Amino acid sequence: MSCKAAYATLLTTPAYLPGVLVLNECLHSVGSRYHLVAMVTPSLPAEARAVIAKRGIIIRDIDHLYPEEGTHKLTEHDSRFRDTWTKLRAFELVEYDRVVLLDADMIVKRNMDELLEMPLERDWIAAAHVCACNPRKIPHYPADWIPANCAHTAVTTPTSDPPTIDDTSPRPYTQLNSGTVVLNPSLSILQDIVHVISTSPAIPTYSFPDQDLLSDHFRGRWKPLSWRYNALKTLRNIHPSLWSDDEVRCLHYILHDKPWNSPRGTGGDSEEVNGWWWDLYEKLAQEMQEMDPEGWRLVDANVAHP
């Protein structure tokens, strides 16, 4: 496939600035042929915009995207998901033929440019399955989120394909994790999504805003990706038969405890994988402290230190 393509991520607050900069460095370090676009909302301060621009990240201004006030409520535990509706603005990046949307709490460990070049029908997306095991027994998660219904349970080796989805599959098999989404930008698709957000009676029921919407809107039109392209950090412990450190393309630091909020030595079960992020951050620090000390102070102010 020959096209104009890019990776994209959302940045609405300086709190995720360390994540975006590390993600960008990862793409360079693995030799990606494609650049990173930061979708930036008006809520991001000018000084944060300046920092990412100096790092060569392309800035794309977008507006926030929310349901009408009072339509959708999040628990305090999931308040971090408020801005995730806005991720769907990636469909308006029509200056590109193909976009791979990545969350800012990810690191790329191996080149995965093939996602920007893979065959994908115009009105389809590609993404990896959710992990529906709910190991922390979070009470408001769906009742059918149990290990037996998790698509990752059916993956027996690190290189096995994800399971197929058919009429007999458990409902969680039809749900994707939106940390990595391969999409073909389209204003008509975005218009359809905005209409759904504005009118669908399902919106108040969604536990995971953009993720549940994508799962429903593209039902029958999303191609399952290997876990390796959205390697949820929890899979390492929950699905050991699936996991291999060497097979990870893109690691996703899901849940609220991001690595930059957990100094070295305080990451608990995630200490080793958090260390991968910290290694990259410390390498970035050496460069930025010399080239952009003022910008570095802003970045580092959003990172927890002992």
The phi and psi torsions of 58 (rounded to 5 degrees) equal: -75, 130
Rounded CA-CA distance 156/216 in Å is 27
Any domain includes 260: yes
| The pLDDT of residue 1 | 43
| The pLDDT of residue 170 | 97
How many structural domains is the chain composed of?
A: 1
| The pLDDT of residue 72 | 45
Strands 5-11 and 36-40: parallel
| The pLDDT of residue 257 | 87
Both tokens of residue 264?
């070295």
SS3 of the chain: CCCCEEEEEEECCHHHHHHHHHHHHHHHHCCCCCCEEEEECCCCCHHHHHHHHHCCCEEEECCCCCCCCCCCCCCHHHHHHHHHHHHHHHHHCCCCCEEEEECCCEEECCCCCHHHHCCCCCCCEEEEECCCCCCCCCCCCCCCCCHHHCHHHHCCCCCCCCCCCCCCCCHHHHCEEEEEEEECCCHHHHHHHHHHHHHCCCHHHCCCHHHHHHHHHCCCCEEECCHHHHEECCHHHHCCCCCCHHHCCEEECCCCCCHHHCCCCCCHHHHHHHHHHHHHHHHHHHHHHHHCHHHHHHHHCCCCCC
Amino acid at 11: L
Any domain includes 152: no
The phi and psi torsions of 240 (rounded to 5 degrees) equal: -65, -25
Any domain includes 146: no
Residue 195: domain span: 5-129+177-233+246-300
| The pLDDT of residue 5 | 98
| The pLDDT of residue 294 | 96
* Whether pTM exceeds 0.85: yes
| The pLDDT of residue 68 | 67
Any domain includes 91: yes
CATH number of 285's domain? 3.90.550.10
Any domain includes 251: yes
| The pLDDT of residue 74 | 44
Any domain includes 23: yes
Tokens 């429903």 belong to 216
Task: Write out the chain's pLDDT in tens, 306 residues.
Answer: 447 999 999 999 999 999 999 999 999 999 999 999 999 999 999 999 999 999 999 999 999 998 865 454 444 444 445 688 999 999 999 999 999 999 999 999 999 999 999 999 999 999 999 999 998 888 888 999 999 999 999 999 999 999 999 999 999 999 999 999 999 999 999 999 999 998 998 988 888 889 999 999 999 999 999 999 999 999 999 999 999 999 999 999 998 889 999 999 999 989 999 999 999 999 999 999 999 999 999 999 999 988
Rounded CA-CA distance 248/251 in Å is 7
| The pLDDT of residue 192 | 96
What is the distance, to the nearest Å, from the Cα of residue 266 to the centroid of all Cα atoms in its chain?
Answer: 23
Any domain includes 221: yes
Any domain includes 54: yes
